[in-house]
Amino acid sequence: MSIKTTLEYWNESPDPDSIHVITHSRKKFYNGKEIHWYEFVMDGIALHELGHEDILPDGFSRVADTDYYEFGGNKENAVKNLTDAGFTLIINGGEL
């Protein structure tokens, strides 16, 4: 289980029909706490706009009025749940 860098991810030319998971740190906003938000995108469109939120593993909740999700645990557990559910395109995104 590893998270790819943005460069590694884009060099793979992912299938546009695959769901891309992007992790975003919220550390600066939460005064140094390791909080992450998650973004789910398919061919540049947010997953919730496509009506496919039902495929997300347990523990992910949408942050109201945003395209982001929180996870009820740490990042390592979030990535494990995602990979166990079959998500393979998981990359580190920028700070939010």
pLDDT of residue 96: 77
CA separation (Å) from 69 to 4, 15, 56, 82?
A: 19, 23, 10, 13
Label residue 59 by pLDDT band (50, 70, 90): very high
pLDDT of residue 12: 52
pLDDT cut 70: percent of the chain above it = 81
pLDDT of residue 49: 87
HSE at residue 87, side-chain half, CA atoms within 13 A, is 26
Instruction: Summarize the confidence of residues 9-19 as an average pLDDT.
Output: 56
